[in-house]
Every structure is written in C-alpha cells, then in structure tokens.
Structure 1
Amino acid sequence: MKVVISEEFIKRLHSIIEVRGSGRRNRQSEYRGPTPPGVLFAVYDNLTGKPEYIPPESKDVPALMRDFVKWINSEEANQLPIPIKAAIATYQLLTIHPFEDGNGRTSRALATYILSLGGYDLKGFNSMEEYYIADLQGYYKNIQMNLPPLYYEGRDNPDNLAPWIEYIINIMEQAFNRVANLAKSQYHQHSDPVIKSLEPKEKKLLRLLLSGTGTISPKEIAAEFNVHTRTVTMWAVEWIDKGIIEPASGEKRIRSYKIGKKYLDVTLEQLGYLDN
C-alpha cells in the first residue's frame, strides 16, 4: 500500500528506525527541542571535535518540515526524475536535521521509499545503505560540498546540488547493477546445463581458477578445501573426466591444473560469485 509522505509518516519512520522494542510501529517521534543554555546543537567532526554542521534552530524546524513535505508532494517535485527527487529529499531532510539523532538513516530510508513509489524498488534483494556505510568518507564529503557549516549561511539552499545528486545516482547504479548481476547469475545457474551440472565444490574450484592465475596445484586445492592431497588426487580424476579441469603441467605426476576447454567461457557471474 502506498502511503502519502507527511510529517506524521516521517516521524513514524524515524521511530521505526530509532526506537527499540515492541510497539515501535505505533509510535512516532517528535522533533528536537531547544538545547540547554550554552550547548550548541551541531554535527561535530570526529577527529577535530569542531562543529562540522550547525542545523537550524529548533524553533524553525516545524515550519521547515511543513515546507519540506509540501515540496515533496508538489507538482514541481513530481515532475523531476525520481532519483533526483529522492536525492534532493535526502539532502533537505539531512540539512533540516529535525531529530536529535537518526537523521541520516531516516533521510536515506525516506529516499528508498520515494524510489520505491517511483518504480525503483529492489524488493529487498539489496540495500543502498550498505554502500553508504562502505564509503562514509565520500558520503560526508559530498553532503558537505564545501558549504559553510551554518544552515542559515547557504546550507538551506545551495547554488549547486550536482555533486550530491551525482553521488546518490552512483550509489543507485552500484546497487541496481548488483541486483541485475545476481538475476543474471541465477538465470545461468538454473538454465545453463553446463552450470547446472556443477556441484558446489566444483563451482568453488572454478572460482579459484578464474580468480587466480589460471592454474592451481593439488597442494593449493587441498588447502582451500581443508583435505589431504590424496583426496584431491581422487577428486581430480572425476573432474578431469567431466572436463572441468585438465593437467597444466606434469605428465606422470601432475603438478598443476587448468580450466578444461568445456568451461573456458564460464564466468564468475555465471557461477554466482558477484563483485561487491
């Protein structure tokens, strides 16, 4: 069911992300209030301890959030390409920083929801969150964009959001490409008789060959499978018979193996091994 994005929706989304325990889906968070005298509400640099970003005052948050939600549902926003709308929404919610904590996760979850409403739904096969976490330095660099730390000095309406939008689009590209590759891999595994006939350890053997130099010794295989080299010798007879591998060096005593001609065109993707 598609739920219209409202302030209540965002508050409940924040509660689901931040609150632990049962009943959290029936709760909704509240916007942050004023800080005690002499305390600055800011995002601080972990290394220097200096304010990296100073959000708007708490008294301005309700009006800013009303305008934000109004924009999300406006004709102007709905005419934008969905990924660009999601990127702008992420930036604006992060910049308003309406909650004491969890603003980043909430803004990214909101972006994911906006994308899903527009047909960019990964159906749980992958999450863009893992890409943000893997590149926190790039994430913070692109959200900062060398802008002044104070919200009222240009953070509210930057002249150029292109660096941030391009960063989000790149994250999307990585996530969606990974799902596409996974789909292709599953297709090959279930439809290609050559791939379908392989046992798990045979797939692993081919992965070792494809990921390495193209040859592998019995000792290396034994180490990977945690077995004795005599066991590898017995396995190798069957693997050679099936055309999976063939001797690469040695005649009476085989010192290394290479991929058999039958499997020369097999890729890691077809075997189900995907790059991160």
Structure 2
Amino acid sequence: MYHPSFSYTNMMVRDLMSIEHSRAIVDVMPIPAHIERNLKEQAKLKMTHYSTRIEGNTLDFEQVSRVVKQKQNQARIPAEQEVRNYWEALSYLSREKQKGVQITETFIKKLHSIIVQQGAGRKPFKSEYRGPTPPGVLFAVFDNITGQPDYIPPEYSDVPSLMSEFIEWIKNENELPAPIKAAIATYQFLTIHPFEDGNGRTARALASYILSLADYDVKGFHSMEEYYVDDLQGYYQNIQMGLPPLYYSGRNEPKDLAPWIEYFVRIMALAFEKVANLSKRYANNGIDPKVRRLEPNEKILLRYLLERNRPVKPKELAELFQVHSRTISKWSNQWIENGIIQPASGDKRVTSYKLGEDFHDLTLNDLGYAE
C-alpha cells in the first residue's frame, strides 16, 4: 500500500489558509454569466497552452486559441494536434466531473489516450502502460542540454502494481486537504511514469481533476500551469527534490515530500489569489443595484433562496452558514428589516422564511450566476 510521508511547514499552512480565503471570495462574488463563461474559456486555453508549453510545444497563445476552434477532423501538424488533444482532455474531465466519475486505472488510461491521440478525428483507444525497451536501451527522462538521465523510472514490470496501489490511495485518502492530496498525486504519478509519453500532461490534468472533485477549481477560472512555465527550473527542481536519478535509490520512498508539496501549494495559492482579484473586479458589472449594497452573507442567502425556490427553515440557514440557530434568529431580524426575507409561516414563532417582496423579481442571472 502506498503511504506518502511529509511534514507540514509554516509556509504550507499559510498558503492553505490563503487558498481557503480566495475560494470564499470567489464563491460569494456574483459575476455576470457572460463574463463567467469567458473567464472559464480563457483559463481552459491557458491550461492547454502552458501545460503543452512545459513539454516543449512552440505554439503561442493566439495559435492555440485558433487551433481549438478548428473543426475536429481538420489535418494538423504535431504541435497543433498536441494542444487540441489537451483541450479535448480538459473537456473530457469536465464531463466526467458532472457525472461524478471517480479516478480508476481505466479512467487514467482513457485520459492519457486522449492526451496522446495521433491523427485528427480518430477515436482514442484506452492506453496501456509502458512495456519493455529494446535490449541496451534505457528508458529514462533525459536532460535536453547534457543528454544525461534526470530520472530513471521503475521497471515496466513494477508499474501495474505501483499504479494499483496509487489508485487505492487516491480512493481511500479522505483526510488530507485537497491541495495536498493533488500535490502528492502529481508527484507519485510522475514518479511511477506509467506511460512511454505524455506523463507530465496527464499528471497535471489528473491534479486538476482531483481538485475539481473536491470543489477546489474556483469555478474553473484558474491555471497553475502558467506559473510553472514562468519558473520551469523551480518546477523541475522541486519535484525532483534533490533525490538520486534512479527510482530504486530513494525516489520510491522519499522521507519527506514537503519540498514539492510546499511548492505546489504556493503556486496554487498564487493562482487562486489571482482568480479572487478577478472576481472582485467583475463582481459588480451588470449587477442589479439592489444587490450591490448587500453584504456577502446576504448575497449567499439570496442565492440559496433563489436556487431552492421554496421557503427555508432556520435550521437550513444555520447549516448553510455553519452557525448556531440563535445566530440565525439574530441575523434574520436584520434581514427582515432590510426586506431581504419575510416570514413564510408562524405568527409568534417564525418556522420558515421566503424571499422578501423587494427581491421577488430577481433571478440568478441578475445576481451574476449562470442559471
């Protein structure tokens, strides 16, 4: 069974708190639906561009944008096919997230097959793990400049059991914060290096999916990959952690994954902070004037009532805001005074609330949320 080892650092804890703060801002800031769609598309384009750029793809951002808008069966050069594949892989992950699909070996093989697909319009087949190399040929990750091996992965015969243990860990690990789980998964996948090619892109896509399943995707607005490209040397140094090139000489059981986790969480905190700032910038664009004056909790309350379209009980609101029922009673008096809600039942003792008259005509779109 896979048992990763790491220790929390002050910086790691600080950045985890920053991530939670940014998530909360993005969650409460209502952004007009058309702006939200554009931010999601731009983030997806950045993930596609920068994740393939890490592997040496030379297309610039505008060229990547043009390629993904072309017809699917259009002939392309390898660099174009590579970015189209990654775009399709991200689309695949989005569909699987909607269905709540969990990570399995079959899931990873399907994801990898989309990433390395060759030939426009062909249906990708499920990938298989790497096999033996020809006699005298070393399977390794080589330095582009020196030609020396940076990393020599485990023997192909060990890959199936390592992947089985890895997937079992993903399935059963429910206590670690999602950012740390995604960081560890990235490291372990790249360490196993289960496929002949496309491991880096698959690892980054897999990390994004782990975060997405745990609702750590800040509405799909973020791209960590652009930060990696700006610090490629740091990216590689931190994931290698100064360990020997040979898998069996220490990379199989590193004593402390903290250097890589700390780096991953730092990048994630920066990416999420950027999204939070964007959310603040666009939050008031096109928002109903009645909504602009509301406090964050009042906006959350409005969205909750609109989405359910029925009276809600004080107990439900206490669960929503994670506070005691006495606090909800106090807040409710202020909300009623502001016209946000009104009693839906009970004369002396209110047992449920509904939207106030001033807000009956509002929709989620008016609040800035896509319906």
State the TM-score, normalizing by the size of structure 1: 0.65
Question: Are 1:58 and 2:156 counterparts?
Answer: yes
Q: Secondary structure at the match of 2:126?
A: coil
Q: State which structure, 1 or 2, has the greater radius of gyration over its C-alpha atoms.
A: 1
Aligned to 1:42: 140
Shift of 1:186: 0.7
Aligned to 1:32: 130
Aligned to 1:149: 245
Aligned to 2:335: none
Question: Are 1:122 and 2:228 counterparts?
Answer: no
Shift of 1:126: 2.5
2: CA distance, partners of 1:2 / 1:134: 33
Matching of residues 67-78 of structure 1 within 5 Å: 67-74=165-172, 77-78=173-174
Letter in 1 for 2:272: F
Matching of residues 201-220 of structure 1 within 5 Å: none
Q: Equivalent of 1:186, from 266, 282, 285? A: 282
2: CA distance, partners of 1:124 / 1:2: 16
1: CA distance, partners of 2:271 / 2:122: 31
Aligned to 1:19: 117
Q: Secondary structure at the match of 1:52?
A: strand
Unaligned runs of 5+ in 1: 194-276
1:61-83 CA-partner distances (Å, limit 9, x unpaired): 11111111111111xx2111111
1: CA distance, partners of 2:113 / 2:224: 20
Q: Equivalent of 1:176, from 269, 272, 277? A: 272
Unaligned runs of 5+ in 2: 1-98, 290-371
Shift of 1:171: 1.2
Matching of residues 154-165 of structure 1 within 5 Å: 154-165=250-261
Q: Secondary structure at the match of 1:120?
A: coil
1:19-62 CA-partner distances (Å, limit 9, x unpaired): 143354x5211111111000000011112111110000111111
1: CA distance, partners of 2:151 / 2:243: 9
2: CA distance, partners of 1:191 / 1:119: 25
Shift of 1:189: 4.7
Q: Equivalent of 2:175, from 71, 74, 79? A: 79
Letter in 1 for 2:280: K
Letter in 2 for 1:150: L
Letter in 1 for 2:103: I
Letter in 2 for 1:62: P
Shift of 1:2: 1.2
- What value does the CA root-mean-square deviation take over the aligned residues? 1.7
Shift of 1:187: 2.1
The number of residue pairs the alignment matches comes to 190
Letter in 1 for 2:227: Y
Matching of residues 101-120 of structure 1 within 5 Å: 101-120=197-216
1: CA distance, partners of 2:287 / 2:209: 33
Higher relative contact order (CA 8 A, sep 6+): 2
Q: Secondary structure at the match of 1:123?
A: helix
1: CA distance, partners of 2:227 / 2:125: 29
2: CA distance, partners of 1:50 / 1:33: 22
Shift of 1:190: 4.5
1: CA distance, partners of 2:217 / 2:101: 15
Aligned to 1:254: none
Identity %: 67
1: CA distance, partners of 2:233 / 2:286: 39
1: CA distance, partners of 2:218 / 2:113: 23
Cα distance change of structure 1 residues 187 and 36 upon mapping to structure 2, 3 Å threshold = same
Shift of 1:129: 1.9
2: CA distance, partners of 1:85 / 1:100: 25
